[in-house]
Amino acid sequence: AHTEKNEVLLGGGVACNKRLREMVKTMAKERGAKFYVPRNNLCVDNGAMIAWNGILMYQSGTKMSIKETTIDQKYRTDMVDVKWR
């Protein structure tokens, strides 16, 4: 709602979670948004996809030291500076 979008796509390993699917579906419906989720067999964490993203970042000049690579549970994907598009 805060991004003023009218669609939501749930993906990755967490998209297999039935409760999460229902919650996101309900929130989308309440806001008049479209909700999309692939079949469970397509909702997996994909190591090859993550590695390819790393290659694209590296080739575009995005480099990080080990100390810079941290986990942030509140990391917002809409705040990512994507240089390789």
Cα separation, 48 vs 39, whole angstroms = 19
At 11-70, the pLDDT tens digits run 888 899 999 999 999 999 999 999 999 999 888 877 887 888 889 989 999 888 888 888
Q: Report whether 29 contacts 7 (CB < 8 A).
A: no
Model-level pTM greater than 0.85? no
Q: Which residue has the higher pLDDT, 76 or 54?
A: 54
Closest CA to 77 of 61, 59, 41, 53: 53
